[in-house]
Amino acid sequence: MTVHDGQGRRGGGRTRPGASAEPLSGAYDTALLDLDGVVYAGGLAVPYAVESLGAARGGGMRLAYVTNNALRTPEAVAEHLTELGVPAEAGDVVTSAQAVARLIADEVPAGSRVLLIGGEGLAVALRERGLVPVESADDDPAAVVQGYGGPDLPWKRFAEAAYAVGRGVPWYASNTDLTIPGARGIGPGNGAAVEVVRIATGGRFEPKVAGKPLPPMHRETVLRTGAERPLVVGDRLDTDIEGAFNGGVDSLLVLTGVTDVAQLLAAVPEHRPTYVAADLRGLLVGQPEVVPDGDGGFVCGAWRASADGGALAVVPVEGPASGEADPMDGVRALCGAAWSAAEAGAGVLDGEKAVARLGL
């Protein structure tokens, strides 16, 4: 049975991570997995991802891949996953390109022209909804849509978008992630490209956005997967975890992508995940309970965390288990201390020394 202690979706914020007495792959029927930074980075599989996903699937959990990256088609994503050792079909993949194409199709006449600033994945999604991608602001488009087009997207494409948006053509974006993780580090994402057009048009216009964390993406995911007990799995607080919060479903944050421990400890209520794990091996195990100890501290496994004097501290709990202290239990305990302090009005506390003590 999953324990939702410390839960606060809409009223107060979550004050500590939740717990699960059984493996997460058994507690939830479907994992809604982000891709970049969770399953792969720069085209290469994230450590432990292939084995963990295979084990979760073998245990009966459905795997669906939900990405804000609108560049590639679901078929191409599924082929890539299969090559990495994670068998997948196009129907297992949900993209922000599909979500924004549905959003546009709901708001413009059937067969409308849409000025496309992006890649093949977005073009295919538009055609799937009966829309016609065009290349120029002079092609009389009914809408402008931006999606991640890769590092080689020509600068003139942004100019075409700016011309059309400046004329008052309705503007849409697949997502507004400012960054995207890759093999060489963190690069600019579609949100950075959206800002280029915003600046060029004097900041007078705002796009309608479909991707995580907004409702159109959650709607698209539910329609395509039919998940009844979904678990959102991601590496970003402001898209994956906030999207789960907005959708009213549980989430697992893995620390293999954009988010680090310091950012997790400073998370605002809507960015606090239900569960935390180092990587996708977290799907295959339960989650230990984070317990208030009555003295203002929180204990998880062999670690105790507390907040005092504007800083966070974490120490091993004395006893036989102290020699086998899992650093991730220390992170969970620190989340309890940091989030509870924030809810009490203490603000963001300094956790640098505490995180260093855990070796993270």
116: left (phi > 0), else alpha (psi -120 to 50), else beta? Answer: beta
Task: From the candidates 5, 29, 34, 240, give the one annotated as an active-site residue.
Answer: 34
What b-and-e string marks burial along 46-82, b requiring 16 or more CB atoms within 10 Å of the CB?
A: bebbbebbebbbeeebbbbbbbbbbbbbbeebbebbe
CB 142 within 8 A of CB 112: yes
Is 34 an active-site residue? yes
Radius of gyration of the chain (CA): 21
Nearest to 125 by CA among 170, 181, 69: 69
Rounded CA-CA distance 5/274 in Å is 9
Place of tokens 């087009």: 149
Nearest to 322 by CA among 336, 335, 303, 337: 303
What b-and-e string marks burial along 123-161, b requiring 16 or more CB atoms within 10 Å of the CB?
A: bbbbeebebebbeebeeebbbbbbbbbeeebeeebbebb
Task: From the candidates 29, 36, 92, 152, give the one annotated as an active-site residue.
Answer: 36
Rounded CA-CA distance 221/80 in Å is 20
**Both tokens assigned to 94:** 């949900």
Is 152 an active-site residue? no
Place of tokens 């000025």: 115
**Both tokens assigned to 144:** 């402008």
Active-site positions read 34, 36
